[in-house]
Amino acid sequence: MRPLSRLLHLDLVRSGKAVQHLTTFVVAAVSTILITRLYLALTGYPQIGGDTGLHIAHVLPGGLLMLIALGISLSYLGPGPRPLVALLGGVGFGLFIDEVGKFVTSDNDYFFQPSAAIMYVIFTAVVVGANWWRRRRPLTERERVAEAAHVLIDGLAGRLPERRRREILHSLDQAEDCEGAAELRNLLEGVTTRPPSVPARLEHLWHRVGDAFEHVTSSRFALPVMGALLLVQTAGAALALLSLWDSANPHGLVIAGVLLGAGASLVFTLIGFRQGRRRGRRAAVEFFQRSVLTSLLVTQVFLFAASQFAATAGLVADLVLLGLINVDLARIRAGRAV
């Protein structure tokens, strides 16, 4: 009898663009929620259906968009459609999860206050989980070769942008001794490339963001600046904590959660400064990473339950800091640190 692990094995090959596509998905979903809530507030919360007795909740067009995204992913070969799938799926999921308050309350309360915290936890889990998963398990040589074969589909169809070809050839350099790598390199070098399509241009936006982060973190002032920004972020959480303390109905659990998260972030940041002087840049950045993850996964979660505006600002700041720290850490591990 086969072990259970064998029976449950799905033979899945990971994509080198997984984190990027999942980030596109999350950004599209969060943007959709913010735009939807702003539109509804400005227009007085109209109901689609008018006075007909029908109410078409926006969870329905959200589900339709997710269906379209799934249909595209199942109908077309190659990695080319994935940026569009991530975008449409993110917009659809944003419309869906925006109504989570109706799904978890007996009176279908769209304005259920903990809804923001629920949405925050879901999106943060996706972003942090994807980054953690890729960092803990980098692509194997066989997966790099398999991904190159997948990209070759776009090349053979005449739909491969030059930048994507350069990326995949660079990835093959790290798997040159693996079976099939040399043959795939020859085929990829021989295909005709074309200008990037609209979905490919979406990917290029992330490349530009990554290039900008790379440029910022390559500065010799980047490390102290990132540490200072973490301290400012912690100070912002402390100010929000004081406002919660002075509110008419302070919530003890929220205050305790914000205090715990902000305190832990402060400790990690201070240890990072100390370890940076004693052991070097990598030790400092690793503790800075722990600090921003603590803020994302603890401080902002509790803060969302009390002040969605303050937590949204904190979320944006934490995601930017996490991006800078991850880029810097990746460069250090690759031996390209300043």
Per-residue pLDDT of the chain (338 residues; tens, 9 = 90+): 455 455 555 677 888 888 888 888 988 888 888 788 878 877 887 776 556 666 778 889 999 999 999 999 999 988 888 888 999 999 999 999 989 888 888 888 887 877 877 887 888 888 888 877 777 777 888 988 999 998 999 888 888 888 888 888 988 888 878 888 889 999 999 988 887 766 666 666 766 777 788 888 888 888 898 999 999 988 888 887 777 676 655 567 678 888 888 899 999 999 999 988 888 888 899 899 889 888 887 888 777 766 666 667 777 888 888 888 888 887 786 665 55
φ/ψ region of 192 (left if φ > 0, alpha if ψ in -120 to 50, else beta) reads: beta
Q: Are residues 70 and 94 in the same domain?
A: yes
Residue 222 located in a structural domain? yes
**Closest Cα to residue 286, out of 241, 244, 333?**
333
Q: Are residues 183 and 254 in the same domain?
A: no
CB atoms within 10 A of CB 40: 14
User: How many domains are contained in the chain?
Assistant: 3
Which element (helix H / strand E) includes 242? helix 222-245
Q: Are residues 232 and 324 in the same domain?
A: yes
Give 178's contacts (C-beta < 8 A, 6+ positions apart): 141, 142, 144, 145
SS (H, E, C) 103-116: HHCCCCCCCCCCHH
Residue 40 located in a structural domain? yes
How far is Cα 16 from Cα 190, in angstroms, rounded to an integer?
22
Q: Are residues 131 and 24 in the same domain?
A: yes
Q: Are residues 149 and 108 in the same domain?
A: no
Question: Containing domain of residue 21, as a range?
Answer: 17-136
Residue 127 located in a structural domain? yes
Q: Are residues 247 and 313 in the same domain?
A: yes
Q: Are residues 124 and 81 in the same domain?
A: yes
Residue 209 located in a structural domain? no
Q: Are residues 226 and 271 in the same domain?
A: yes
Q: Are residues 37 and 121 in the same domain?
A: yes
